[in-house]
């Protein structure tokens, strides 16, 4: 579904991504792991068209993405759930959901999807008229996921969904990710620092260090990899 082939992205004189190659298959959850400033967010921004790679290729469902505007990439079927949720804090929960559908013109379909989001994420109904900025972190994460789904994506890119959440909410959010993958057939690229929880639901994973993919393997194999255990899983 999604392929990055030898992608090199720069910020001025800083070589942020160095020949990054990865793939996400149809209906697959893939984890992109690594510490701070390793290139995870730059990979996401390169896919979404927020930064333009200098070389390499990014292909989604047979369509080349490099050079397309972010709005065109959303139209192609990719939607992000951003780090720290990035709510429109003064807008209501319902208004935030409508922002996810801003490229759509099918009012009946939008209304149907609002109702569907209420079933998957009950907070979007119970707090529909509440300012999104007043919700808890976990509630905001659910609204952010629902907002992204309002674009009817084929691929969801989630940037650090566990950040700032209590362990209880982390488990809830990751259970919802699995449910969306299984019930909706949604492909998911999970950009995460929390390797344990990400690999518990992913089929495969990639590990980035200083803009380079240093490990790529099945999730189960990564959990057993001594380098992963020492660097990311807290196992001496």
Q: What is the pLDDT of residues 52-103, one digit of tens each?
A: 999 999 999 999 999 999 999 999 999 999 877 788 899 999 999 999 998 8
Tell me how far apart the alpha carbons of residues 233 and 226 are, in angstroms, rounded to a whole number. 10
- Asked if the structure places residue 189 within a domain, the reply is yes
pLDDT at 235: 56
pTM of the model: 0.90
- Asked if the structure places residue 192 within a domain, the reply is yes
Host domain of residue 209:
2-77+153-231
- Asked if the structure places residue 133 within a domain, the reply is no
At residue 25, does pLDDT exceed 70? yes
The answer to whether 216 and 206 are in contact (CB under 8 A) is: yes
Q: Give the helix ranges, DSSP H, for 77-210.
A: 93-100, 107-120, 123-126, 137-149, 167-184, 195-201
Counted domains in the chain: 1
pLDDT at 104: 81
What CATH number corresponds to the domain at position 70? Answer: 3.40.50.300
pLDDT at 231: 67
pLDDT in tens, 119-151: 999 999 999 999 999 999 889 999 999 999 999
pLDDT at 161: 87
């Amino acid at each position: 579904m999604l392929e990055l082939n030898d992608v090199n992205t720069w910020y001025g004189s800083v070589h942020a991504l160095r020949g990054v190659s990865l793939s996400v298959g149809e209906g697959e959850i893939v984890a992109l792991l690594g510490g701070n400033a390793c290139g995870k967010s730059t990979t996401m921004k390169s896919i979404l068209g927020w930064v333009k790679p200098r070389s390499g290729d990014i292909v989604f469902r047979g369509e080349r993405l490099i050079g397309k505007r972010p709005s065109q990439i959303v139209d192609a079927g990719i939607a992000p759930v951003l780090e720290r949720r990035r709510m429109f804090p003064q807008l209501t929960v319902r208004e935030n959901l409508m922002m996810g559908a801003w490229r759509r013109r099918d009012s009946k379909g939008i209304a149907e999807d609002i109702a569907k989001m209420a079933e998957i994420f009950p907070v979007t109904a119970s707090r529909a008229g509440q300012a999104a900025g007043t919700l808890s972190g976990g509630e905001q994460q659910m609204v952010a996921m629902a907002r992204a789904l309002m674009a009817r994506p084929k691929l969801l890119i989630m940037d650090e969904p566990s950040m700032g959440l209590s362990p209880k909410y982390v488990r809830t959010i990751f259970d919802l990710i699995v449910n969306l993958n299984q019930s909706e057939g949604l492909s998911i690229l999970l950009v995460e620092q929390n390797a344990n929880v990400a690999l518990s639901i992913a089929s495969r994973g990639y590990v980035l260090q200083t803009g380079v993919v240093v490990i790529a393997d099945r999730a189960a194999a990564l959990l057993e990899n001594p380098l992963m255990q020492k660097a990311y899983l807290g196992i001496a």
